[in-house]
Amino acid sequence: MGFLKRARVKSPWILHYCTGGCNGCDIEILACLTPLYDVERFGMLNIGNPKHADILLITGPVNWKNRDVLKRLYDQTPDPKVVVAVGVCAATGGVFHNCVNTLGGVDKVIPVDVYVRGCAARPEAIIDGVVLALQKLEQKNSGGVAYATGTR
Amino acid sequence: MARVTFPFGPQHPVLPEAIQLQLTCEDERVVEVLPVIGYMHRGIEKAAEANLFPNNIFLCERICGICSFIHALCYCELMEGMMDVEVPPRAKHLRVVWSELSRIHSHMLWLGLLADSFGFESLFMQCWRAREIILDTLEMTTGQRVIQSSCVIGGVRRDINEDQEPDVRRKMDAFRKEINAIYPVFAKDYTVKSRTVGKGILPKEQAWSLGTVGPTLRGSGWDYDARTLGYAVYDDLGFEPIVEDGCDSYARMMVRLHEVVQSLELVIQALDRMPKGDLAVTVKTFPEGEGLIRVEQPRGELVEYARGNGTAYLERLKIRTPTFSNIPALLVMLPGCELADVPVITMSIDPCIACTER
C-alpha cells in the first residue's frame, strides 16, 4: 500500500451535512467530536469543504430543496469516498415518512454505504458506523468495491 | 468599491443546519443580507393532520432535537387545555425538571458553538464536556439523551424515583462546579469580549418592533419571558426573567449564561418541592374547539395553535417557533459589520433552522 493510500485510511476527514432532519443526530455527531467520545483519536477531523472530505455523514430525510445540494456535495467529494446515513430518517424517512416535502432517505439521491440506526442515533452507534465506513474506505481504496453509477 | 454578493451556507462548518445567507459586501464590510430558507422544510404541520393526535407528540418532539422536550411539553399542555385534563402535581414538577435540564443542555451547546464560531476551540470542548453531565442525567431519568419522549397527554411517562434523586442532585453539584469554572472565561476573557462586545447591536425599540423573543429580546433590555405565565409549576417556583441592557452579542451571551445558573436552581427547587402521587391521568376524550398556548423554549417563546373537531385527528396545528421571530433581527444586526463577525452575530440569535421551517 502506498503512502497516500495508507494516510487516507489513518486520517479520514468528515463532512457533515444536515438535509432536513430534527438536529438530534447533528448534535450527537458534534458530541462525537468532543472530549467524552472524541473520534479524533481515529484521526478524523470535521471539515467544511467537500473537496477535502473522505467520509460524508448525512442526516435527515432529504427534502426537495436539499436534493441538489446533496447531489452536488457528493459529486464534489473526490474518490474514494464513503457515505454514512445517520439516523432512522436518513435511512427510511422515519417519523417524517408522511411529510409532504421529504424524499424519505438519503439513498433516494446518492448511494449509501453504511446506515446508522437510532432516533436520535447515539454517539456510540455513530462511532460504530464510522469505523465500519473506514473498513469500507479501505476496500474502496484498494479497488475492491465498485462504485454505483448514477442515482437511484 | 464594487459590491460582491456571495453565499454563506447552506453547507457551512459553523452552522450545524442548512440555511443560506446571501451577503453583499463592499470590501470587508457587509452592506446587505438576504436569508434564504427552505432547506430544512419537511411539512410537519400538514403531517400532524394525518396522524392520530396522541402520536403527534413524537412528531412535535422531532421539530427540533435540541429543545425536543419543550416541544412535546407545549403540545401536551395545549391538548390538555383543550380537553380540560388536570395533570397530577408530580407530573408538573417532573416536566419542570426536564424542561430546565433541556434548557441547560441547549444553552451549553450554544455557548460551545459560539466559542467555536470565533475560533476558541478549547472553550468549545469544555462547554460540551460540561454538557455531557446534563445529558447523562437526562439519559438516567428518561432513557434517551436528546429526544426523551417522556411527556404524554395527561402527565409524564417516567419517574425520578427515590434511588435516582440523590444521583440527580450529585450530578447537578458536579455541573455547578463546571459552570463556575466556565463562567469567568465567558464573562471576562479578552478574546471573548473583543469578539462580542459592541458587535451585532439590536437597539431596544427595534428589538420590540421586529417581534424578537427570548434571550435576543431580553439581551436588549426587555423583561419578557413566557415562563412568567406560570404553565407547569413555574408560578410556584418564584421565577424572575434575566435581563441585560447591552443590546449586543455580549449581552445575549450573558443572558444565556445566567439562565444556565438559574435553570440549575429551578431544577433543584422542583426536586425539593416534588410531591408524591400519580404520574399521569388517563385521557378518554378527543380535542374539540380551538386552543392556543405559549411556552418558553431555550430560544424564546413558542406558540402553538390547534383546532380539533372531536375526532382523533386534528383539523389544524400551527406552530410558531422562536427563531422564526428572531431571523428579522439579523437584518438589523448584520449590515455594517465586518465579514469575519458574520458567524458570531448569526450565532448570537441562536438560530434553530429545523424549528423555523418545520
pLDDT at B174: 92
Half-sphere exposure (Cβ direction) of A49: Cα atoms closer than 13 Å = 3
Residue B31, all three cell numbers? 452592506
Give me the domains of chain A, ranges plus CATH numbers: 3-141 (3.40.50.12280)
Work out the number of other CB atoms within 10 angstroms of the CB of residue B121. Answer: 10
Q: How far apart are CA B163 and CA B338, in angstroms?
A: 53
- The shortest C-alpha distance from A144 to chain B (Å) reads 31
pLDDT reported for residue B13: 67
DSSP B277: S
Which pairing describes strands A114-116 and A82-86: parallel, antiparallel, or unpaired? parallel
The answer to whether B11 touches B353, Cβ cutoff 8 Å, is no
Nearest to B12 by CA among B356, B349, B338, B347: B347
What's the ipTM?
Answer: 0.81
| B251/B256 Cα distance (integer angstroms) | 9
Decide if A20 and B16 are in contact by the 8 Å CB cutoff: no
Q: What is the pLDDT of residue A151?
A: 43
Question: Cβ neighbours of residue B150 under 8 Å, at least 6 residues apart?
Answer: B69, B72, B98, B141, B142, B143, B156, B157, B158
In angstroms, rounded to a whole number, what is the distance separating the alpha carbons of residues B256 and B244?
10
A22, B64: Cβ pair inside 8 Å? yes
Taking any CB pair shorter than 8 Å as contact, residues of chain B touching chain A are 10-13, 16-18, 38-44, 46-47, 50-51, 58-59, 61-66, 68, 109, 112, 124-125, 128-129, 132, 135, 144-147, 352, 354
Whether residue A21 and residue B65 make contact (CB cut-off 8 A), yes or no, is yes
- Mean pLDDT of residues grouped by 10 in chain A (152 residues)? 72 84 85 84 81 88 86 86 88 85 85 86 88 81 61 41
pLDDT tens digit string along A50-61? 888 888 889 888
- How many angstroms separate the Cα of B95 from the Cα of each of B140, B240, B274, B277? 15, 19, 11, 14
Backbone φ and ψ of B269, nearest 5°: -60, -45
User: Do residues B57 and B76 make contact, with C-beta atoms less than 8 angstroms apart?
Assistant: yes
State the residue for C-alpha cell 438530534. Answer: A24
- What are the helix and strand counts (H, E) for chain A? 5, 5
Contact B160, B168 (CB under 8 A): yes
End-to-end C-alpha distance for chain A, whole angstroms: 33
pTM, full prediction: 0.87
Task: Identify the pLDDT of residue A1.
Answer: 59
**Cβ neighbours, 10 Å, residue A76:** 14
Contacts of A15 in chain B (CB under 8 A): 11
CA distances from A141 to A7, A13, A52, A53 (A): 11, 15, 16, 14
In chain A, the residue whose alpha carbon lies closest to the alpha carbon of B59 is A95
Contact B103, B118 (CB under 8 A): no
pLDDT of chain B along its 358 residues, tens only? 678 888 877 777 666 677 787 888 887 888 888 888 778 888 888 888 888 888 888 888 888 888 888 999 999 989 888 888 888 888 888 888 998 999 999 999 899 888 888 888 888 889 998 999 999 898 889 888 888 888 888 888 888 888 888 889 999 999 999 999 999 988 888 888 888 888 888 888 888 898 888 888 888 888 888 888 877 788 788 788 888 888 888 898 899 999 999 899 889 988 888 888 888 888 888 888 888 998 888 888 889 899 888 888 888 888 888 888 888 888 888 888 888 888 888 888 888 888 888 7
Contacts of B166 (CB under 8 A, 6+ apart): none
In whole angstroms, give the CA distance from residue B313 to residue B315: 7
Q: Which residues of B135-154 are buried (b: 16+ CB within 10 A; e: fewer)?
A: bbbbeebbebbbbbbbbbbb
List Cβ neighbours of B265 (8 Å cut-off, separation of 6 or more). none
- β-strand pairing of B29-36 with A55-59: unpaired
Cell digits for A84? Answer: 454514512
Q: What is the pLDDT of residue A152?
A: 39
Please report residues of B whose CB lies closer than 8 A to that of A95: 58-59, 62
- Which chain A residues contact residue B145 at CB under 8 A? 28, 120, 122
Element (H, E) at B108: helix B89-117
Q: Which residue has the cell 437597539?
A: B203
Residue B78 and residue B289 in contact, taking contact as beta carbons nearer than 8 Å: no
At A144 the pLDDT is 63
DSSP string, B50-75: HS-GGGHHHHHHTT-SSSHHHHHHHH
Q: Which of A23, A65, A97, A101 to mutate to test the interface with B (most CBs of B within 10 A)?
A: A23
Non-local CB neighbours of B325 within 8 Å, separated by 6+ positions: B210, B211, B212, B213, B300, B301
Q: Residue A131: enclosing H or E segment and its boundaries?
A: helix A123-141
Closest CA–CA distance from residue A78 to any residue of chain B (Å): 17
Q: Tell me, what's the pLDDT at A150? A: 46
Topology given in CATH for the domain delimited by B41-357: Cytochrome-c3 Hydrogenase; chain B (1.10.645)
Helix (H) or strand (E) holding B79: helix B68-83
What is the domain partition of chain B in residue ranges?
A: 41-357
Which residues of chain B have a CB within 8 Å of the CB of A120? 65, 144-147
Residues B21-54 as b or e (16 or more Cβ within 10 Å = b): bebebeeeebeebebebbbbbbbbbebbeebebe
